Structure formats: structure tokens, C-alpha cells
Structure 1
């Protein structure tokens, strides 16, 4: 079964069927390559694959990014679909039990050990269970033989050494039931109703991985042990190891740890579960009082079972399918950005369903509560338009350009791919036989085959996609007294009416070939300085603007960009702020330089360059990303966002309509309602407090005023600081700065920002908010208030929160079994004023709120009285250093650190001193922070269901 994301044009599995006796000869820059359609797709030579005598499959690859790290995966070809009636939810429960006692790691020892070497539970160490598989995720340091050995011992224990004691099974019931509780809500209730129609006649409609509350509470120990015995066996397992270590070492580890595991004497057959065909069109119209969003789904399921891509012909067919998806989604995006948009977003693709064996042509859209039929009609009409008239050459060529651009980017960065982005391909190869050719092969194949694909081939697909049987339509949304629900008869009538329509062809208007209609008058570099320690260069431009850039080799085809100027909405009056706060997000919806968003999208075909404009509370800015090849386009877009941002009432109305559709029923969700009410309790006395925006707020948003304020904020580029990090050609870069940035207008305003007299509510307070029918509660405990900023103290407080997170998981989850997750976070900021915050949060059952708050505060009190243990502090320090070393080799980290150092008026050189700062942290530092900041009173926010 092919699974791919819409818009993911790095073409992990591309295919097309053409006569098997044909040969396609393609010329590449170095040689003439002959592709025989019946040839098998070659496996990437960089990965070593093998099968042990017991049937276990393995994949090994040496990959140096990131350094000194290996990604391990234990993949079990078994999930909830294999559960017996007495095992509902136990595939997932088994995943939990692998963390709760194995032969070599007793209860809590496994997580404790991994934390001691810097591996975080949840953030790094994790697992997931689906219908057909269970996957365990373990990143491990590879520069220490002992740690590597322990890592392999852990995944071996998961494979066959889980203890499954009665006591620990019972202890874990509470944790899994809390996860079950978390999943309850409007979406889950509606899914329970429509899944039997979506997956009609199959086990997939009856085996949601979380299981049932009744079975989780009462299942017998033997039921879980039987699942483990039946399905955790070598012939259903794969071990994947990708990282910065020699392949021979990894292969020896796999053989020594897994070669001796035996299969059961009489193994149960591992069945495959089909999704039966049906002649009917199934319509599911589900509503819920707590549903915040309205959605439409449309499925045309294949009649025949899917097969894995194995030949060149298969691979080429997916290229055709990808072109189809690209083009129809471009059309839907145009509709979304046009007048009176029928949906907030909409997309269409051909790909996998919950069932491994069945693909489907699928469309989905988010719309307003009253717009479901309009959204469905739009999706159906656009499918029908393609059926009647097909796509056209202009959109076909643009789609090809986009595919080529994205594939080129992936190809250029093939030696800079992180290990955790590689392992997924091998997981899907083992589970679903998806091909794993090398990036070189994919790139060559694309260059050879893409030019041979004709528009007729793409247009022909729609005839196999659309059908009147195996069709499912699902509408989900809010239930309200004043909202008339769509009826099934209306949906069926709409289907017939669209089929009978005689539609006009898509109109593909020509667009300009250049963003800039007039080149700006070039400025100059007034001064520059280099910082050898940071590896940065800073340019002072003739208009006063500053540019800091850092040339890196972290990625071959990536340049990231950010820019800011102080001021933002803090310089607006209270009245102007409220009038424009909901309009600022729509400023860029009209496009630039006379080109609307649709035209810009077409003009940008084959280019990778994005610029985002924002006006924040204390600054305005731009950010974006590009490739070395498209760097000039990024500069042009930046220049135009300063000088030629369009103003278009219709474009803003389209934005506002989508926002209203998105926001219209948001506060019916208990979770969103809690956030809104608690925020109002803490911040509501701020004269600028607006809360969650409503549809009425969007109607009252003043676009004209927002645009005038935008012009004020971006009238002076001279006080902007621009940042670029990536693979920069310095000669070309400096010239582009002179042309597009130094030429921007400057008024020498040198503005700062205003600081309001308002401060949030502090001290000891309690707010209980009741909303929702599910027995779900959540707790937020907030310490915050004024302080004197200290960088060392800020680091200590943040680290204290990380220690508390460890203790809360140990206490609330492992000991009490009362939560699925819990955590704390903290910071001290020096902008706009010195202020600290320390937040604790966890979800739980209403009956456990008081007990768990008491348990939480005991942990806090212990930190205040005694401080953290040396052991817990070492765990935090190890994790911080591991993350830091990895971050140091990423463009995103450097961009953020360089910008924030200036924005917050800090010394950028501290970027390189972080490891020393971590190592210098002491128990006393954290203890002092606890005594200072966790003794000043706190605000308790509690969300409970309605009584």
C-alpha cells in the first residue's frame, strides 16, 4: 500500500504503468541509461539488509548525521488488528509493558538508565501502536561501546524478555486508561459512528488500537501474555539501525542479540485483512455538541487490493499519480484563495487507507458549520471537471517544475540527511514492501522519466479513480439548536446533480515571468565586520539596515532567513490595537507587486523561496527559507514585502471568511474553552486583552487601518536587522544585499517599543472551569511574577522544571497510575520586562484532581526544602548537552540564537559557552531557584466536566 503526504514532492515512491515490452532511453549528463519497465527497483546500496536464520529482518546503514548517535527501531508486524475478542486494546497495552520491567531492566530501571545518558522519555524514547504494526523508537549515543551495547540489550528485551508480572500489569492499567481518557471527546465519538461505514465489513472498523475501557479494566493477565507470545516473534520482526557507527559493528550486535531468539513451535499464521467492496454509497453525517470544526471527507475505494511497487513501471506510475495530486491541489488552493472560499482548506490525493490492502482516491476539507454541502460540492465538481476536460499544459508544466525542484533539493542534501529521517523508509519497506532505492537512483530515474510522461497519461487516471460504488462520504461537525444538519438525501442528490453537470474547462491564465517589474536603485555596504569565533559576518548597509550572515555546510541546499525591527503593535493605541489585531494576519493575502496569491503561486513554480511577514507585540519582521539557487527570489520577495504589498478588500474578505469558518465553533471544545477562560482570568484586566477571536471579531477587523499601520511599521528598513544562515555564496550574497536590502526606504527612525503598565495576575488564586461531558479534567499550576533577570538563574529555573518533569512522571504516572503525561517548563525573560514563569500541567480523571495536585505540590515542596538530587540533575545536564551538540549542526538553531541574542540584547558568544554553563550547574543553583521562585504563591487552573 502506498502512503504519501499531499504536497510531499520528494517522491519517496513514484510509479507509472506503460507497456511492459517498451524500453525508455534517457540521457543523463554523464551517460545514456536504458530503463526496462519490468526491471525490479534496486535497493539502496547504502543500506545493508539481511535475514537471520529465525526469520528476523534487519536494515543497517552508516550515516554520520548527527554525529555520535544511532537510531534504533524494533518493528513488530503486529498491531490491534490481530487482537482476539478478549484482547481489545492489548496490542497497545503491550507496548506500555515493554517499558515496565524486562529481564535486564526491572521496573523503572530502563527509563532511569536512558535518562542518565541523556535520552528523554517521550521526546526521544518512544513507541507507537497502529492497526497493523507496533514500532519502538530508541536513539542511543554511539560513541560509547557500553551505551551502544545497552541500547541493543534494551530492544532485545522488548522483543522477547518482557516480564509481564501481574502486579505491573495492574499498575499500568491506570496509565493506559488515562491515555484512553485523553482520546475521548467529540472527534472520537463521531469516529466511532462513521468508522463502520468508512471501513465497512472489515476488522479495521472493530479494532481501534486504544481498545475499550471495559476490556482495559478487566482483561485477564493471560490474554496479554498470549498476545506477546503469539505475535512478538522473530519472523514478524525487523531491527533497524542507522547512525554514526560502522555497519559491521551494528550487524554483529543484531546477530548476537537476536539470532538466538526462537519462534514458537506452532506459530499462528499472520493474516492479512481485506477491506471488502460494496455497491452502496455510504453516507455518514455525524455531529457533536463539543465539535469545534466542520469537516468533509470523500473516498472512492479501489475495487482491487493494492500491491507494492516493485518494478520500474510501478515507480513511474506513482510519478503520474503525484503529478495528478499536485495539479488538482493547485486548483483547490486557487479556490481556497479566491472569493467566497467554500473551505478553510481542501486537498485531494490517491493513497492508502487504514487497511494495508486497499488504496483510495480521497478528498478532504475543513469548512464552516453551514458550508459542508458547498465544500462537498466543490470537491465533487473539481473531480468532475478533471473527468470532463482534464488538466492543461500550463498547470502540467508547473507541476513538473515543482517536482523537479523538490527532488533536486533532496538530492543535493542526500549526504546531509539525519538518521531519524532515514529509518522510516526501512520501517515501511519491512511492513508494506515499499521500495527503498537510493536517492541517486531516484534522481536519475526522475530526470529520465519525467519528460516522457504525457498529459494524457495523467488525465487518464481520473477514470479509474471515480466510481459510483465503493464510495463513502463523511460529514462531521457541531450540533447546535440553530444549525440545521445536512441530510443524507441531500448528499445523494448532490452526487447525482454533479454527475449531470456540463462544466466549463479550468481557465489557466498566463502569468508574468518576473516578480520585479522595476529593479531598485542599488545601495551599498557602508561597513562590515567579521566574528571569527561565531563564524559570522555583519554588514552595515547604506540605508542603515544591518545584515548578519553565517555560512554553514550543515545542509547543501538550505538557507534560512529572519529579520526584525523593534516597535510592533506596542506603538499602536489601545483602540487601534483592538481594531487591527485580527486583521494583521490577512495583510499578505493580497500578494505583492500587483500579483495576487494565485498568480504568485504559479510564478513560483519550480522555485523554493518563502517569505512570511509578521507584526508582533514588540517587533515587526520577516522570515523565510530558500535554496542557494533561488536566493535572489527570496531577496526580491523580501524587497516587495516592504515596498509593494498589495491592498485588496476581496482578498482580505476571503481570509476573514476562512478565519470565521475556522473559529466559528472553537469554544464548544472543552479544551479550547478552558484555555480561553483561564487566560481571561490571568490576563483579562489588560486593556488590550482580546481573548479567542470570534466570527464577530473578524467582521469588525479593520483591514484598512491594519494596512496603514503596516506601512508605518515597514516604512523604515534602516532599523531592521536581517539574519541569514546556510550554504551562502558570499560574493553573490553581498551583491544581493546591496541590490534588494540596501535599496529599501529608510527614515532613520531607530524606534524602540512601548512597555505597558499592565502585569498579569500573580499570587495565590484558584479558578475552576466546568465544560464538557467526558470525565476528563486538566490541571495547570502557574507561578509567575517580576524578578531581576539573570542568565544563570534563568538556566537554573529551566533546569529545575526539567527535574520536576522527571519526578512528576515517576510519581503521578508510575507510582499513582493517575496520568498519561505530566510536565513542567520555566523561563525568565528580560523583554519587555524582567519576568519569571514556572508552569506545571497534567490531564487526569476528575476524581483524581485533588489527590494529584497534592502529590504534585509534595514534589515541589521537596525541591524547595532539599533541592534536586545529584542524580536527577545529571540526567537533565546530559540531555541538555546531547541536544545542544546536535543543535549546533543545524541552521535553524544558529538562526534563532543569533537573532535572539540581538533581540534580547544578550551576548551571542554565549552560544558557544552553553556546555560550560550546563556543566557548571549545581544542585545548590537549582535549590536556590526553587526557594526563590516556588514559594511566592501560584495560580491553579482546573478544568472539570460539567456536573
Structure 2
């Protein structure tokens, strides 16, 4: 009977879709509706608001103040002041004096930078404020903060002058090869447009010297309700929030004679613009191929359907580009194409690639050739059918997670709706729309896009690369000739090969579950399989359609000799580039069309394992891939050559970058130049890898499944998935014998040690200060070190950033580890101006000494305790957190109850414990300081 009903449903399904499509066609000119779950309104003064009740995460609301103005509205003497104004919102308002705002928000568990933040771009400024919603007073104060930002920033002379240093430090962070090259190619890309003249960071001379009134004028002109939106998404009462917004923001007034808000065009041009730029510190060679298009807004149902056609085109072409990266001699390290908004007044179709230093011609020709291939022959029906499944699956997963979607995602959608009219019909509408429309989109529709997008008009080519002795970059005429040659080539159609329908043809012989144990401390179950493998299962309802997977076995590359280290270090990535059985990575991607599956294997220094994610529906497919990564890794010489050649592209000029150079030198210092200390490999080392030996090491590491422990956390029924675990994991070869890791003897130098590294031409430095040494691993001590890092981060933001104006960002963190030996590390780091390094180092060390002598204030202690409580509450509702927590419990052999007992640990934390921790671990004889300075200093 059931079979008959199923056949009837199947026969009726095409008619159902046809009816849906006809319904869509009948509404083609109708406006896209607004999600009924969000309340959208406009106050009399023009301020827009978006309010939505959402309980993920619980007891929290995401607040945003959106100002529809950025750097494009700056006058000549205001360049950089839209961004400067964003900074000043945190430096004194009518209701929150200087430092009081950040201090108050920290006291209710909001972290500065990680939670409390803001950004400024060409056309908008957005303030981000996530706060607890379970306390009415906090909620009211949160709205008061937004009201102050909107209309009550004080902008005192003193605070403006203090903040100049912080903004200059942010400007300094952006300096370097990419900035210098961008300053050359941006005026070409945006020729005769204001966009070329209004980078949000502004001009240093303006930031240092502008009159106070110039900034106040910008605030008066543009911070006004008709250019603003309030977004409130979270665990709130919508009607009550609407009432509060009306009361607070309805009283804001617009200027009597408001300055008109303008949009600035990017002019069309019949010719191709070319910009070839180089820099001695450029670490990569990059290609941009841009076709400017008229702006297309999405307002009607027909527009929405058009965007669906665009997404299919973009996705299929990116799959082709990804496939080309697998060739033995790949044309690029990475490549992608997309159609989308360029700026507020222009769209673009663009292709991008990172190539080797001598690969510009090959890379550019490949991009042009693949675009021309689509233009001439189009995509195949097989490609279209597969990618339709991929797109529909994406919407289906989002639809299933509708009630488990985090508030921040909704807030971002509403910001885009306010700024650029992006539709917000809701995932229910979108899923139904795509389910109805995708079957009707034809190959001819998709293939017809290329002729409109790929033209000789409005085309821009940008080449960025290293200025290097012996390396000749092409000129403008060379680039134009390459374009013409590529367009004139004989091109054959893309060949879409036949693919298997399943990863495993013959099912393995299942193993058995030989033992089961309830882990009551974490509400999980531990299974032992007949091959010795342990599987820990935690069923949750945090997400409706998510399962997160992680597994490990001890050993890793530590079990191999120094001679085998390169082979062992790269074995996991080489197999990832190769695939399983006869299936390449692109084959696997195609076979997974319509599924949500990610599985990857790795070999680390002291362990090997797998990680992945999937859905309950696709769990069996994920397990099949896991089985094959154990039993049938693909040995492919072309894939190995591809891996080596792409890494050579990556490594060719990496050390030209001061930051990569510094990172490499820091690794060498901290490992005392140990040959296996974790530094970047050279081109010669990549060329020396023995493929056969690397593959052999991989198979050895995954030969005994009985030595592995796997964790599955997500929405599944334990009894239902047991047979699949027995079939795909229990069938793996294995025994109860286990391995451990080998201590390679990598140790930091004894302190005190101070070193200076010189690299780069920009006036910018990086400071790293580390306290490290052997220490008996202790859960409490590790927690104290971590908490000490949080306290010190807050204090250093207060002192180095707010008081001294010497840094843009600064942080401290501490931890302990048991593997490969028991030790601790406490790190302080910040970028700054070279002339300020010693003063800032002294200030940071003075704060360390102060904590060692006096401990921390109760106010500072309560800030981090409240932040930890809020953070842990959210973490306990995430599958990814539980996988990590379970993994470390088994990896370090830690008690499981530590996960649930964390709040008790927070409650017991005292100033004296942090004081004693600082005295015990932050000692001069374990102190290492490494500073990056420019070469001419």
C-alpha cells in the first residue's frame, strides 16, 4: 500500500511544481514580500527600524545602529572623518563619559572588539552592540547607547586629540604592499569616480591635523534620523521593543536644511583599462578581470528569479575553475568568478586568480578562455542539474534551521535591506520560491548570460605582483595582446564526464558494538566497536539539521624521523588533493550535489584524524567517505604535482612580506631553530617531497582504526545510527593495540631573551612578549592563566589604546598544555609605531607587575567573570563546542565533569588567585620578547 501511495505522489510531483511555477509567473512583476516575522517601520522623522523575536542565542539581543553614510560623503577636508567619527562614538557621550561606555558594557559581559564593535565603508557606518536581554535595565541602557551614538556624541577637543593616535595606528596597520599597489590601481578601476578618492581610512595628514569643528560638522550633517536604522533581533518582546524605539528615537530631529545625500557613479568606458602594479614586499601575484555592469536591483519576483539564474552561472563556472586547480600544472593557486554589486551604483562580473610569479600570461589566458568557453558553448545539462541540487540543498538546510538561526545573521540581512534594498522575504518564502523556480530555469537562460556580461567595453584588468630582480612584468600592451590571443583561440566544449552514483559499490562486512557506556557527566554515550575504535555520541537539539564530527589517534608526524618530516607533514593535504578511490576532489564535489557533507583527514604533529560535518539525512554518505579515507585514499601523481606546484606558487615570495617573515623568524626563535619547529617550507623543500613515501606514511597512520576515537555531536537518534557506525566504522581494519606520540624535543629558549627582527619599509612594528616554560598541567592553573589573559587584555586596551593612543588593537592570552610535555604559555601582542615600541612595552610590563603586587580590582574581575558566564551559556548550545570539549577531555585524559562544572570555577575565581598566578608564571627568567622593526630604523 505504501509503495502505491509513493508512486502516486511521485507522479503528481511534476504537476505540483508546474502549478507552483505558474503561480510565480503570475506574480512576476509583484514586489518581493517582507518576512512576516520581522516588524519593519518608519518613524515620522524618517528613522527605520527592524525588530524580530529570535531565541538563538537565548537571553541575548543583537542591536545595531546603521547610518547610511560613509566616506563618500566626506568633504575634501574630511577625508577619513566618517571612520574617525565611528571611533569617537566610544569616547564620550551625553550619558556615558569617556571609558564609561566600554567599562559598563564589559561589566555586563560584552567584550570590546569581539562583541562591541563598528565599521565604516564607502557608503555606510554600522555600530554593533550585542547585549543580554534578560535584564530590563541592561536592555534600556543598550538602547540608550544607540541613542547616544545617534545624537549625543560629545566630541570634546581633548578626546578628539587622544583618538587621533588610535586612528593613525589603524591607518598604520593598513600600510604595506597591498595598500601601495591598491593606491595605484584603484584610480584605474574607478577612473573619474569619487570612489577612487574616498578610501574610508582617509589621509594621514587630514587625520593628524583636522580642526575639531570639521568633525563636528560631519556629525551634524549626516548623523540624522532620516539616514538611520535601528535593528533589534533577539530574545525580546517585539511590541515592547517597538514601543521603546519609538519613545527613544522618535524625538530625534533632522536638520532644518539637511544636506542632500548623493550617490556617485562609476562612469562607463568603451576601452579596456589596464593597471600593472608591483611592490618589493608583495608576496603573491594576483589577477583581477572585471566587467563593469549597470546596477541591477532586486525588487520584484522577476528580479528574484533573475538572481537565481545568476547564482547558477556563478556556481557552475567556479566548479570548472576549481577543477582546473587539480591539474598537474595548474594555471593558478586559486581562482573564482562572481556577479554582484561592485559599489552602490554599479554591478560587475569579475574573475580573480592568484598565480605564480611567472604565471600571469597563463593565468589570465585561462580566465579569459574559460569565460569564452561558456560564452561560445555554454554549460552542460549535467552541470546545471547538479548545481540546481546544490542551490536547493542550501536553502533546504537554512529552512530546516529557521528556528535555530542565530540572531546576528538576521541582523546582517536587515542591515543590507536598509542600505541596498536586498530583499528579506524570509527563508520560508525563499525555499518555496527556489523549489518552484529552479526546475523551470533552462540551460539556454543560463548560457545566455555570458554574451551580456563578457564584452570588450567597461573591462578592467589589474595585475599585482612582486618587484623582484630578474622578474619582468607585462606592460599594458602585453596584457591587451594576451586578452586578444585568448579570445581568438580555438576552444573546445567542456567535457562533463559520467560519474558514479555511489561512493561504495560493495558494502563492507559490518563490525559489532562490543561495549556501551553512559557518560552521565556530559549526557553522552561511549561505544566500543569490535575493531577497538571508540565512538562518543552526544545527541542534541541545538540545530535541527547538523551533525559535527571529529576523530583522532595519537602519533602524527612525531613518529617519523627528521628525514621523513616533509613527507609526513604534507601527507594529509596530498591525499585531500587526490581524493578517494577513483574520485578526485571535483568528482566528489559533483557527487555530493544536493547533499551537505564535508569530510577531511589530517596528520598533525602529535596526532592524526578526521573532521567533518553533515546532516542527519546525509550522515551515511559522510560515513562512507570516512570509510574510504581509511581504506582507499587515491594515489594520483597528477594530484601530487598539482599540490607541489600550487605550494611553490604560494612560497615563491612569501618571505617578502614583513609579517610572514616575522612569523617565520618567531617560530625559529621559539623552537631554538629546531628543524621541525613549524616554520614555512621553501620552494626547494616542496620540490624535494617523496610522493611514494608520503602516501606510505598516510596509509600507515590510518591502518589501525582501533587506535581512533571519534566524536559525533548533533541531531540524531543514537539507536538509529548504530547500524551505520557498525557498517562503515566497525568494518575498518583495526586492533586494540594503541600508539602514543613521541616528544620531538622542541623547546623554547630560556629567558630572559630579547630579539629584534628587521624587515619592511613601512613605519610599523609588531611586538610579541611571551612567558613560557615547563609546568605541571593543572586544570585550575590553566583556567587562572586564561582568565589572567582576559583581565590583562582589558587593562591593556584601557592603557595602551585609550590612555596612550599608541595601539589600535592589543591582546593577551594564557594557556597550559600536556602534549608533548607539560608547559604553559602566556602571550602579549600588539602592532604599533616603531618609535613607540619601548614606551608601550614598558607600560604593558608595568601593568603585569602591578597585578603581581596588587592583584586585580573587583570591578575588573567581575567584568571577565560575567563575560565568561555569558560566553559559556552560549557555547553549551553549540555542537561545535561540545565536539571540542569532548575531544580535549579524551585527548588530554581530563575529567568529563569539568565541562559542566565551569560556572563553579568562575564563581571561585578571586583576585588573589590571579595575583598568585601572575607571580608564579610571569617571571623574567621565562620571558621572551621579539620585536619587528622596519629595516631603516
TM normalised by structure 2 equals 0.97
Aligned to 1:244: 235
Distance 1:687 1:426 in 2: 51
1:10-55 deviation line (CA, Å, top 9, x unaligned): xxxxxxxxxxxxxx98458999777420111110000001011100
Q: Residue 225 of structure 1: which of 204, 213, 216 is its match?
A: 216
Q: Residue 136 of structure 1: which of 127, 135, 139 is its match?
A: 127
Q: Give the deviation of 1:574 after TM superposition.
A: 2.1
Aligned to 2:299: 310
Q: Give the deviation of 1:329 after TM superposition.
A: 0.7
Aligned: 1:654 with 2:666? no
The DSSP-based 3-state class of the residue aligned with 2:617 is helix
Aligned: 1:543 with 2:534? no
Q: Residue 513 of structure 2: which of 498, 515, 525 is its match?
A: 525
Assess if the C-alpha contact under 8 Å between 2:328 and 2:640 holds in 1: no
Aligned to 2:10: none
Aligned: 1:484 with 2:475? no
Assess if the C-alpha contact under 8 Å between 2:669 and 2:748 holds in 1: no
Q: Give the deviation of 1:609 after TM superposition.
A: 1.0
Q: Give the deviation of 1:553 after TM superposition.
A: 0.7
Aligned: 1:352 with 2:341? yes
Aligned: 1:148 with 2:139? yes
Q: Residue 562 of structure 1: which of 550, 557, 581 is its match?
A: 550
Q: Residue 79 of structure 1: which of 59, 70, 73 is its match?
A: 70
Aligned: 1:339 with 2:328? yes
Where does 1:239-318 land on structure 2 (aligned, <5 Å)? 239-302=230-293, 304=294, 306-318=295-307
Distance 1:122 1:439 in 2: 30
Distance 1:648 1:57 in 2: 57
Aligned to 2:88: 97
Distance 1:754 1:434 in 2: 55
1:822-852 deviation line (CA, Å, top 9, x unaligned): 1111101122221010000111111101111
Assess if the C-alpha contact under 8 Å between 2:809 and 2:831 holds in 1: yes
Q: Residue 733 of structure 2: which of 745, 748, 757 is its match?
A: 745
Q: Give the deviation of 1:308 after TM superposition.
A: 2.2
Higher mean Cα deviation, 73-82 or 793-802? 793-802
Q: Residue 182 of structure 1: which of 173, 176, 190 is its match?
A: 173
Aligned to 1:467: 455
Aligned: 1:200 with 2:191? yes
Assess if the C-alpha contact under 8 Å between 1:783 and 1:838 holds in 2: yes
Distance 2:416 2:716 in 1: 35
Aligned: 1:376 with 2:364? yes
The DSSP-based 3-state class of the residue aligned with 1:360 is strand
Aligned to 2:311: 322
Assess if the C-alpha contact under 8 Å between 1:543 and 1:745 holds in 2: yes
Assess if the C-alpha contact under 8 Å between 1:80 and 1:208 holds in 2: yes
Assess if the C-alpha contact under 8 Å between 1:587 and 1:706 holds in 2: no
Distance 1:396 1:501 in 2: 26
Q: Give the deviation of 1:711 after TM superposition.
A: 1.4
The DSSP-based 3-state class of the residue aligned with 2:368 is helix
The DSSP-based 3-state class of the residue aligned with 2:448 is helix
Q: Give the deviation of 1:732 after TM superposition.
A: 2.8
The DSSP-based 3-state class of the residue aligned with 2:111 is coil
Assess if the C-alpha contact under 8 Å between 2:670 and 2:747 holds in 1: no
Distance 1:216 1:765 in 2: 37
Aligned: 1:642 with 2:630? yes
Q: Give the deviation of 1:573 after TM superposition.
A: 1.6
Aligned to 1:597: 585
Aligned to 2:686: 698
Aligned: 1:847 with 2:835? yes
Assess if the C-alpha contact under 8 Å between 1:291 and 1:668 holds in 2: yes
Assess if the C-alpha contact under 8 Å between 2:550 and 2:611 holds in 1: yes
Distance 1:800 1:59 in 2: 39
Assess if the C-alpha contact under 8 Å between 1:35 and 1:312 holds in 2: no
**Residues 631 and 690 of structure 1: CA distance in aligned 2, closer, same or farther (over 3 Å):** closer
Task: Give structure 1 stretches of 5+ with no counterpart.
Answer: 1-23
**Residues 804 and 584 of structure 1: CA distance in aligned 2, closer, same or farther (over 3 Å):** same
Q: Give the deviation of 1:801 after TM superposition.
A: 1.1
Where does 1:490-529 land on structure 2 (aligned, <5 Å)? 490-529=478-517
Q: Give the deviation of 1:903 after TM superposition.
A: 0.5
Q: Give the deviation of 1:701 after TM superposition.
A: 1.4
Q: Give the deviation of 1:762 after TM superposition.
A: 2.4
Distance 1:880 1:35 in 2: 53
**Residues 40 and 130 of structure 1: CA distance in aligned 2, closer, same or farther (over 3 Å):** same
Aligned: 1:813 with 2:801? yes
Distance 2:456 2:640 in 1: 39
Assess if the C-alpha contact under 8 Å between 1:95 and 1:127 holds in 2: yes
Aligned to 1:871: 859
1:714-737 deviation line (CA, Å, top 9, x unaligned): 110011111100111323310101
Assess if the C-alpha contact under 8 Å between 1:76 and 1:238 holds in 2: yes
The DSSP-based 3-state class of the residue aligned with 1:722 is strand
**Length, aligned pairs only:** 921
Q: Give the deviation of 1:96 after TM superposition.
A: 0.3
Aligned to 2:814: 826
Aligned: 1:880 with 2:868? yes
Where does 1:351-500 land on structure 2 (aligned, <5 Å)? 351-353=340-342, 355-500=343-488
Assess if the C-alpha contact under 8 Å between 1:579 and 1:700 holds in 2: no
Aligned to 1:164: 155
Q: Residue 734 of structure 1: which of 722, 737, 746 is its match?
A: 722
1:881-916 deviation line (CA, Å, top 9, x unaligned): 111000100000001001110001001121111111
Aligned to 2:115: 124
Assess if the C-alpha contact under 8 Å between 1:798 and 1:825 holds in 2: yes
Assess if the C-alpha contact under 8 Å between 1:580 and 1:701 holds in 2: no
Q: Give the deviation of 1:661 after TM superposition.
A: 0.6
Q: Give the deviation of 1:603 after TM superposition.
A: 1.4
Task: Give structure 2 stretches of 5+ with no counterpart.
Answer: 1-14
Assess if the C-alpha contact under 8 Å between 2:565 and 2:676 holds in 1: yes
Q: Give the deviation of 1:501 after TM superposition.
A: 2.2
**Residues 28 and 896 of structure 1: CA distance in aligned 2, closer, same or farther (over 3 Å):** farther
Assess if the C-alpha contact under 8 Å between 1:25 and 1:34 holds in 2: no
**Residues 774 and 877 of structure 1: CA distance in aligned 2, closer, same or farther (over 3 Å):** same
**Residues 32 and 468 of structure 1: CA distance in aligned 2, closer, same or farther (over 3 Å):** closer
Assess if the C-alpha contact under 8 Å between 1:350 and 1:360 holds in 2: yes
1:169-227 deviation line (CA, Å, top 9, x unaligned): 11110000010011000000000000011111111000000000110011111110000
Distance 1:687 1:347 in 2: 36
* Alpha-carbon RMSD: 1.4
Distance 2:110 2:735 in 1: 51
Distance 1:907 1:230 in 2: 59
Q: Residue 569 of structure 2: which of 559, 581, 601 is its match?
A: 581
Higher mean Cα deviation, 102-111 or 439-448? 439-448
Aligned to 2:848: 860
Assess if the C-alpha contact under 8 Å between 1:186 and 1:291 holds in 2: yes
TM normalised by structure 1 equals 0.96
Distance 1:690 1:59 in 2: 48
1:614-654 deviation line (CA, Å, top 9, x unaligned): 11111110010111111000000000000000111111110
